[in-house]
Structure 1
Amino acid sequence: MISTDRDSGGFVNVTLDGEAKLVHEGQYLVRDLKGALGVKGSLTQHVGGHAHALADDDPLLVVGGESFSTR
C-alpha cells in the first residue's frame, strides 16, 4: 500500500468477480491491492460499463464500491 491511514480509513467493500470483498480504504499500487484481494494474475477495473486493464505499478484510490475482475 502506498499511503493509507488505517486508523481513520477503515474497511470498504469492493467487488471481485461478482463477490464482495473487504479491503482497507486508501491509496494502493495495483500489485498491493492484488495482494490484499488474493489475486495472482491480472486485475481489471470496471467503471461505467467499461473494462480497464490495470498494470501492477498503477496507483489506485479505493474508496468503496469499485468493481474488479480477474478474467
Structure 2
Amino acid sequence: IYGHTFGMAGIINVAATSLMLHHQRLAPTANHVTPDPECDYDHVAEGPRDTEIDLAVSLSFAFGSQTSVMALEHA
C-alpha cells in the first residue's frame, strides 16, 4: 500500500492490472474486512485468488477531474 503518487498513479495501476492478467490472479482489496450484506458483489478480501482473466479495465482518477481508462486483454 502506498500514498498518492500523483503523475505515476495511472501507470502503477496499469502495471498492477497487467501483472494480474499475466499471472491470472486477482489481488485482494486492502483493508476490506466486512462486506455490506446488501451489496451483492464478489469481493476478493481473503487473499489473492487464482482465476481466468481475459479482459481487465484499469481506471485512474486524479485531482482536477482528470480521468484515464485503459482496457487490457490477456494475450
- TM-score interval for Structure 1 and Structure 2 normalised by the shorter chain: under 0.3
Higher Cα Rg: structure 1 or 2?
Answer: 2
Q: Which has the higher strand share?
A: 1
* TM-score of the pair, normalised by structure 2: 0.26
Q: Which has the higher helix share?
A: 2
* TM-score of the pair, normalised by structure 1: 0.27
State the structure with bigger RCO (CA 8 A, min sep 6), 1 or 2.
Answer: 1
